[in-house]
């Protein structure tokens, strides 16, 4: 069976595993939010960074990319890799993936996605909502083994631009991060 993986954060600009096809599209009923704390990639346990997760949101959609993986050994390798990389995301969900905003039926069903839920028992790093300014200030200061948290925001902004997707939450945050950095200079 073919395996599909949906990326809505860093997976958009860096898959990190072998795939056969990359398709731009969206999932319904979710929005992208910077509510997940990162202590292993873009922050530390002492100073967590923030990365995106999907929050259920009726009537909304979230754009990203879906990766198609065909070979058994590639599927196994991708899953093994993602289980480590996405280990702070406590839920594996299987979603419907759409490519056409006017379509009523999905282009692909059963697409694997990693979600960080607000459940503090299974997700101790969850941070939740805060003002754009507070989120930006936290991001400006955070840095982890994968690099500065600000680069995650800028890479995501660029990757979304490349797939021609507008996401105000990301743009507003990137602008606020730039404003704070300019203020600090």
Catalytic residues: 86
Residue 7 lies near ligand SIN (rule: CB under 6 A): yes
Query: Strand locations in 107-146, DSSP E?
Result: 108-115, 143-144
Of 51 and 140, nearer to ligand SIN (C-beta) is 51
Residue 27 lies near ligand SIN (rule: CB under 6 A): no
Query: By CB under 6 A, how many residues form the interface with ligand SIN?
Result: 9
Name which position in 3, 4, 11, 26 contacts ligand SIN (CB under 6 A). Answer: 11
Name which position in 17, 19, 30, 114 contacts ligand SIN (CB under 6 A). Answer: 114
Instruction: Please give the Cα distance from 7 to 24 (Å, whole number).
Output: 10
The pair of three-digit structure tokens given for residue 41, joined into one six-digit string? 């990639």
The pair of three-digit structure tokens given for residue 51, joined into one six-digit string? 């990365």
Q: How far is CA 92 from CA 18, 82, 89, 116, in A?
A: 20, 11, 8, 9
Cβ proximity of 148 and 43 under 8 Å: no
Name which position in 3, 4, 10, 127 contacts ligand SIN (CB under 6 A). Answer: 10
Instruction: Please give the Cα distance from 100 to 97 (Å, whole number).
Output: 10
Of 99 and 179, nearer to ligand SIN (C-beta) is 99
What is the footprint of ligand SIN within residues 72-91 (CB under 6 A)? 86
Residue in the structure block whose two tokens are 């941070």: 127
Residue 17 lies near ligand SIN (rule: CB under 6 A): no
What is the footprint of ligand SIN within residues 42-61 (CB under 6 A)? 51-52
Instruction: Please give the Cα distance from 143 to 89 (Å, whole number).
Output: 19
Residues that bind ligand SIN (CB under 6 A): 7-11, 51-52, 86, 114
């Amino acid at each position: 069976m073919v395996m599909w993986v949906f990326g809505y954060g860093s997976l958009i600009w860096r898959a990190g595993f072998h795939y056969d096809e990359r398709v731009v599209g969206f999932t319904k009923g979710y929005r992208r939010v910077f509510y997940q704390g990162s202590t292993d990639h873009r922050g530390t346990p002492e100073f967590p960074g923030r990365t995106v997760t999907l929050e259920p949101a009726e009537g909304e959609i979230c754009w990203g990319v879906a990766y198609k993986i065909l070979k058994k050994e590639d599927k196994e390798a991708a899953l093994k890799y993602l289980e480590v990389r996405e280990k702070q995301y406590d839920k594996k969900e299987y979603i419907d993936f759409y490519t056409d905003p006017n379509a009523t039926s999905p282009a692909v069903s059963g697409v694997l996605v990693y979600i960080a839920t607000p459940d503090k028992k299974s997700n101790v790093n969850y941070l939740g909502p805060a003002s754009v300014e507070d989120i930006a200030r936290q991001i400006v200061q955070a840095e982890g083994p994968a690099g500065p948290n600000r680069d995650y925001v800028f890479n995501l902004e660029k990757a979304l631009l490349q797939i021609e997707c507008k996401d105000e939450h990301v743009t507003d945050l990137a602008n606020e991060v730039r404003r704070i950095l300019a203020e600090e200079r």
